[in-house]
Chains A and B, each alone.
Chain A
Amino acid sequence: MNLRISRRAALLGLGTLPLATPAFAQGAPIKVGVLHSLSGTMAISETALRDTVLMMLEWQNSQGGIGGRRLEAVVVDPASNWPLFAEKARELLQVHRVDVSFGCWTSVSRKSVLPVYEELNGLLFYPVQYEGEEESRNIFYTGAAPNQQAIPAVEYLLGPDGGEAQRIVLLGTDYVYPRTTNRILRGFLNSKGITNADIMEEYTPFGHSDWQGIVARVKRFAGEGKKTAIVSTINGDANVPFYRELGNQGIKAEDIPCVAFSVGEEELAGIDTRPLVGHLAAWNYFMSVDAPANRDFVGMWRNYIKNPRRVTNDPMEATLIGFKMWAQAVAKAGTTSVDAVRTAMIGQKVAAPSGYESEMKANHHLTKPVMIGEIQADGQFSIVSKTPTAIAAENWSPFIPENANRRRG
């Protein structure tokens, strides 16, 4: 189905057809760009988001579109290649004239397209948790900022339910999200009286598959007599071999619990989770959330993807929230014009599948609940802690001293 859509798009994509049709004519379809990698290393995570957007689009059309106008998707493949992200963003905006885009995963892809969206005044919804330290008027961030994920998770580890950890191992893939998050966490831990001598920090490359040495070193670090916990910002692909090694070296959650920020239901689908029971993840949504909105979401997804075993995850939920908010904002503004929609976006509220109500704040970030889940033998998470209310994002972390002399604006 999406092939048919993109074929039309492709005809325009030739760049040879003069674009005389005014894009905003009454009744003309609203164009939704989908900028997720369908090949290359990031396809593993991003294809599900492409499908989520298409699902929402189909749903919205079944509701009669927005203001009587149908929605039409333009799917492109930036192929996990960052300069190609920028090129495809420009193509979406200038050739296909999309009214809104949903896309990107990882900060580098977002940073690659950001100048394009700012130059051409486009609108992008970014659905993944990230390190913060950014705020663009052309981007709405529907994933978590560090204070909506990392800090509550570590707080949990330090508390009685998490095992009262006194030493922390910060393991991450060597890129900006783990580096920043760990920097914020170090500041936070220091403020809680955990000195740098009790913090181990180590980075590995993308797709790292040989974890023997690092896990052995973690074991040794944990063998210094203080209760130790691992905080993992390991990126997608490397998690499977990491968890396998953890399980095989006999590190149980009771001894050294590991809390992860990038491991969701999709990642666990590739692992036998029985040896991992009790390890943790922090998100703003888990598939196991017991709420009517979530049951609708899971049912709709499995119905759309025609697979009763497929799972949902946090970035998919964030995509859904973003989509719904955007649709509401367009309806409210009565136009798809970027400036009007941007204004209408602020203050939009959606009853999210997480069971909480999320609100778009003026800093272009959402309020979100924080949930801690323990891995279960069936690959799902058992929610062991959640915040009573959705909390607002601090995209400029107070634990980063340089934010004090940040340029506003």
Chain B
Amino acid sequence: MRRFLLPGIVALLALLPLLNLLPEGHPIRVSDFVVSVAGKWLCYAILALALDLAWGYAGILSLGHGAFFALGGYAIGMHLMRLIGPRGTYGHPVLPDFMVFLGYQELPWFWWGFGHFPFALLMALLVPGLLAFAVGYLAFRSRITGVYLSIITQAMTYALMLAFFRNDMGFGGNNGFTDFKELVGMPLNTPFARSVLYFAALAALVGCFLLSAAMTRTKFGRVLAAIRDAESRVRFLGYDTLRHKLFVFVLSAMMAGLAGALYVPLVGIINPGEFSPANSIEAVVWVAFGGRGTLVGAVLGAFSVNALKTWLTSFAPDLWLIVLGVLFIAVPLLMPRGLVGMLRR
């Protein structure tokens, strides 16, 4: 029975955009809205998976994963901006509108290459990866663990948020990037494009899930669990825990970057608000809610908390923060092993 559970869920999820093709008014038709929201949740699920890999498996509680997510999003966003080309308000062949506007004469060097999709996709993985490498190397080398690491990573995403809010950075400041036109030749803002992006996100989620599952089943996965439970003991066994932690942290950051890269074309906007520390903490709550240390839990958590949030922000616009806050309080107290832990019991 359990063997078919996951493939069954994936098949159901894959069916969703197809139900959107049914004629309006059909009893089982799902609306565009549901497809686009579900696509967003898929991206969040990848982010949750990435976070779970670092936190649930290796005990690295990053409160800065939102930053990796946002950087991935910005990389793709830059590509999408380049693709607008002369269709922008000011009709400049190369420069995006906001640059024309701030009086840029030419494209800043860090925008070079983003006209090419493969390059942008590469950067969406590499930039978060490199940042994770730098921060992780410095932190793990100095044996910064636990809540200290959480605070450091939180400061990292906060500093990035402040920096990206600056218009002088060349990333569009508070407005970020929006009004995208197309991606790989496909016009965005159509139900078709959203379905395609939905499938891409689903494929990425399945890929990331399988990769994570395979990885955690190897001896590497067991080393991570050992590091989580007793890091210094692992060192006395002769493992250079710095390298293991760095490996999983960088991988996790790249996964988060991929999630961000898929997210931006789906929601149609990226701006520095994505770096806000609260976003990263929220992602941690998804994982905790679903059940950390289990991949299914992370995915389930991302879906359920976000579904709740989408529903509550319409159902009880004045009270939803309280409901969600109470949920955050209740999870560590009443269900420390999350949804999955509860279901298994």
Direct A–B touching, Cβ under 8 Å: yes
Q: How far is the CA of A38 from the CA of B91 in the complex (A)?
A: 37
Q: How far is the CA of A237 from the CA of B37 in the complex (A)?
A: 31
Tell me if B304 counts as interface (CB < 8 A to partner A).
no
Tell me if A76 counts as interface (CB < 8 A to partner B).
yes
Q: Which of the 9-residue segments B27-35, B148-156, B291-299 touches chain A?
A: B27-35
Tell me if B316 counts as interface (CB < 8 A to partner A).
yes
Report yes or no: B315 in contact with A206, Cβ–Cβ below 8 A: no
Residues in A whose Cβ lies below 8 Å from that of B100? 402
B165 to chain A, nearest CB (A): 6
Residues in A whose Cβ lies below 8 Å from that of B180? 115
Q: How far is the CA of A9 from the CA of B271 in the complex (A)?
A: 29
| Bitwise interface map of B from 297 to 334 toward A, beta carbon under 8 Å scored 1, else 0 | 00000000000001101111110110000000000000
Residues in B whose Cβ lies below 8 Å from that of A407? 86-91
Report yes or no: B314 in contact with A83, Cβ–Cβ below 8 A: no
Report yes or no: A87 in contact with B36, Cβ–Cβ below 8 A: yes
- B37 nearest in chain A by CB position: A87
Residues in B whose Cβ lies below 8 Å from that of A84? 313
Q: Which of the 9-residue segments A175-183, A266-274, A331-339 touches chain B?
A: A175-183
* Candidates B91, B102, B311; contact of A14 at CB < 8 Å: B311
Interface residues of B in 246-301 (CB under 8 A from A): 267-269, 271, 273-274
Report yes or no: B173 in contact with A175, Cβ–Cβ below 8 A: yes
| Bitwise interface map of B from 174 to 210 toward A, beta carbon under 8 Å scored 1, else 0 | 1110111000000001100000000000000000000
* Candidates A38, A114, A183, A402; contact of B318 at CB < 8 Å: A38
| Bitwise interface map of B from 24 to 50 toward A, beta carbon under 8 Å scored 1, else 0 | 011111111110110010000000000
Tell me if B171 counts as interface (CB < 8 A to partner A).
no
Q: How far is the CA of A94 from the CA of B191 in the complex (A)?
A: 12
Report yes or no: A175 in contact with B174, Cβ–Cβ below 8 A: yes
B-side interface residues, number (CB < 8 Å): 54
Q: Which of the 9-residue segments A105-113, A254-262, A285-293, A348-356 touches chain B?
A: A105-113
Report yes or no: B175 in contact with A176, Cβ–Cβ below 8 A: yes
| Bitwise interface map of A from 1 to 42 toward B, beta carbon under 8 Å scored 1, else 0 | 001001101100111001110000000000000000011000
Residues in B whose Cβ lies below 8 Å from that of A94? 31-33
Which of B32, B91, B178 has the most chain A CB atoms inside 10 A of its CB? B178
Report yes or no: B273 in contact with A81, Cβ–Cβ below 8 A: yes
Tell me if B4 counts as interface (CB < 8 A to partner A).
no
Residues in A whose Cβ lies below 8 Å from that of B134? none
Q: How far is the CA of A206 from the CA of B166 in the complex (A)?
A: 10
Tell me if A188 counts as interface (CB < 8 A to partner B).
no
B201 to chain A, nearest CB (A): 15
What size tier do the contact residues of chain A reach?
Answer: 35 or more
Q: How far is the CA of A174 from the CA of B40 in the complex (A)?
A: 29
Report yes or no: A174 in contact with B166, Cβ–Cβ below 8 A: yes
Report yes or no: B175 in contact with A18, Cβ–Cβ below 8 A: no
Report yes or no: B317 in contact with A90, Cβ–Cβ below 8 A: no
- A12 nearest in chain B by CB position: B314
* Candidates B26, B90, B165, B321; contact of A406 at CB < 8 Å: B90
Report yes or no: B317 in contact with A38, Cβ–Cβ below 8 A: yes
Report yes or no: A203 in contact with B167, Cβ–Cβ below 8 A: yes
Tell me if B74 counts as interface (CB < 8 A to partner A).
no
- A90-B36, A108-B174 known; A402-B31 Cβ under 8 A: no
- A108-B271, A116-B268 known; A174-B174 Cβ under 8 A: yes
Interface residues of B in 1-38 (CB under 8 A from A): 25-34, 36-37
Residues in A whose Cβ lies below 8 Å from that of B87? 407
| Bitwise interface map of A from 56 to 98 toward B, beta carbon under 8 Å scored 1, else 0 | 0000000000000000001111110111101110110011000
| Bitwise interface map of A from 138 to 182 toward B, beta carbon under 8 Å scored 1, else 0 | 000000000000000000000000000000000000111001100
Report yes or no: B317 in contact with A91, Cβ–Cβ below 8 A: no
- A18-B29, A115-B189, A174-B173 known; A180-B313 Cβ under 8 A: no
- A15-B31, A38-B318, A94-B32 known; A86-B269 Cβ under 8 A: yes
Residues in B whose Cβ lies below 8 Å from that of A87? 36-37, 40, 267, 310
Q: How far is the CA of A76 from the CA of B26 in the complex (A)?
A: 26
- A174-B167, A402-B101 known; A10-B314 Cβ under 8 A: yes
Q: How far is the CA of A221 from the CA of B311 in the complex (A)?
A: 52
B139 to chain A, nearest CB (A): 26
- A18-B27, A82-B269, A176-B98 known; A6-B33 Cβ under 8 A: no
A208 to chain B, nearest CB (A): 11
* Candidates A20, A39, A203; contact of B321 at CB < 8 Å: A39
Tell me if A191 counts as interface (CB < 8 A to partner B).
no
Which of A7, A19, A86 has the most chain B CB atoms inside 10 A of its CB? A86
- B279 nearest in chain A by CB position: A81
Report yes or no: A206 in contact with B89, Cβ–Cβ below 8 A: no
Residues in A whose Cβ lies below 8 Å from that of B165? 174-175, 205-206
Q: How far is the CA of A63 from the CA of B313 in the complex (A)?
A: 30
Tell me if A224 counts as interface (CB < 8 A to partner B).
no
* Candidates B33, B103, B175, B321; contact of A107 at CB < 8 Å: B175
Tell me if A378 counts as interface (CB < 8 A to partner B).
no
- A403 nearest in chain B by CB position: B90
Which of A79, A81, A90, A133 has the most chain B CB atoms inside 10 A of its CB? A90
- A13-B315, A94-B33, A108-B175 known; A405-B90 Cβ under 8 A: yes
Q: How far is the CA of A174 from the CA of B174 in the complex (A)?
A: 7
Q: How far is the CA of A156 from the CA of B273 in the complex (A)?
A: 36
* Candidates A79, A112, A174, A183; contact of B178 at CB < 8 Å: A112
* Candidates A79, A95, A176; contact of B31 at CB < 8 Å: A95
Report yes or no: B315 in contact with A114, Cβ–Cβ below 8 A: no
| Bitwise interface map of B from 41 to 62 toward A, beta carbon under 8 Å scored 1, else 0 | 0000000000000000000000
Residues in B whose Cβ lies below 8 Å from that of A14? 311
- A74 nearest in chain B by CB position: B314
Report yes or no: B89 in contact with A406, Cβ–Cβ below 8 A: yes
Residues in B whose Cβ lies below 8 Å from that of A7? 315
Report yes or no: A83 in contact with B267, Cβ–Cβ below 8 A: yes
Q: How far is the CA of A206 from the CA of B29 in the complex (A)?
A: 43
The 3 A-B residue pairs whose C-beta atoms are closest, nearest first, are A10-B315, A175-B174, A77-B317
- Other than A10-B315, A15-B30, give 16 A-B pairs with Cβ distance below 8 A: A6-B314, A13-B314, A18-B27, A77-B318, A83-B267, A86-B267, A88-B313, A111-B175, A112-B178, A114-B179, A115-B180, A116-B268, A179-B101, A203-B166, A405-B90, A406-B89
13 A–B contacts, CB within 8 A, in A order = A10-B314, A18-B26, A76-B317, A77-B318, A77-B320, A91-B310, A118-B189, A174-B165, A174-B173, A179-B102, A179-B167, A180-B101, A407-B88
